Amino acid sequence: MEVVIVPDAAAGGELIAEAMAALLRRKPDALLGVATGSTPVPIYEALAAKVASGAVDASRARVCQLDEYVGLPSGHPESYRSVVLRQVVEPLGLSTGSFMGPDGTADDLLAACEAYDRSLAEAGGVDIQLLGIGTDGHIGFNEPCSSLASRTRIKTLTEQTRVDNARFFDGDIEQVPHHVITQGIGTILEARHLVLLATGEGKAEAVAQTVEGPVAAVVPASALQLHRHATVVVDEAAASKLKLAPYFRATYAAKPAWQGL
């Protein structure tokens, strides 16, 4: 996997937005797999700025969700459907018809999980999948010890993830759902390009284990090591525990600019 160390979150957002713009220039109807949480916000801001300035046309882009809470009422502002509509679909000027996600309100959640995996495949697969990383090494909501072959399914959140996400629910952990639907690790690995962004010192240990540790279900993000095109973009703080940081810096500095991510 390629590791790119950037000065700060804004630089990471710009770099990844440019990679998405390059993809959309090559493939205007690309399927963009988006992530939620605080980390990817600079990516969406940078991409929206490129659309607004005419640097890229995203009008035919399609967007799909990585995961969703179970049990939040439809339209809840913190449901990931609402978040993606607010942060990605509306700023890019896309129609809601170009957007898909798992249905966390379905009566038959198992069927909803299978239907989502099927709809991703029927859409031709995800072209670029953005990922954050949990402090516990999760990607999507695949918590530690998730099967590396897992498909979209229901998961129970760890206490740590509920604590981490309470800030989106007025700081009240009781409001954070216990269950989610998440693309499985096997599902995520089917995307053509995986781009993980991690910023801040709180992610440094998870990043080090992901990049320099063994592939192990206990660190779900380490599955990126199995992917043929995985890019890990980290700011200086999130890179602070990487032993190979000097090597990653030198390698990226020597890369031809035209190559992109």
For residue 74, state whether it binds ligand PGA (rule: CB under 6 A).
no
Q: Which residues partner with 109 through β-bridges?
A: none
Contacts to ligand PGA from residues 117-136, by CB under 6 A: 132-134
Distance CA 28, CA 231 (A): 22
Catalytic, 18? Answer no
Read off the tokens for 149: 């072959």
Is residue 143 annotated as a catalytic residue, yes or no? yes
Q: How many CB atoms lie within 10 A of CB 130?
A: 26
Compute how many residues bind ligand PGA; rule: CB under 6 A: 6
Phi then psi for residue 130, to 5 deg, are -80, 145
Least distance between ligand PGA and beta carbon 235 (Å): 12
Distance CA 211, CA 261 (A): 17
Among 23, 34, 39, 100, binds ligand PGA (CB under 6 A): 39
Catalytic entry in 103, 117, 143, 235: 143
- Report how far residue 29's alpha carbon sits from residue 211's, in angstroms, rounded to the nearest whole number: 31
172 assigned to active site:
no
* Enclosing H/E stretch for 194: strand 193-198
| Number of Cβ within a 10 Å radius of residue 103 | 19
Query: Cα(19)–Cα(97) distance, rounded to whole angstroms?
Result: 24
Which listed range, 3-11, 34-42, 173-181, 237-245, lies at the site for ligand PGA (CB under 6 A)?
A: 34-42
> Given 136, 164, 193, 235, which residue is catalytic?
136
Question: Does the protein bind ligand PGA through residue 177 (CB under 6 A)?
Answer: no
Segment interacting with ligand PGA (CB under 6 A) among 36-44, 143-151, 173-181, 237-245:
36-44
Catalytic (active site) residue 136: yes
Residue 156 sits in the site that holds ligand PGA (CB under 6 A): no
The residue nearest ligand PGA at its CB is 37
d(CA 54, CA 164): 37
If the CB atoms of residues 98 and 187 are measured against ligand PGA, the closer one turns out to be 187
Q: Give catalytic residues, as residue numbers.
A: 67, 136, 138, 143
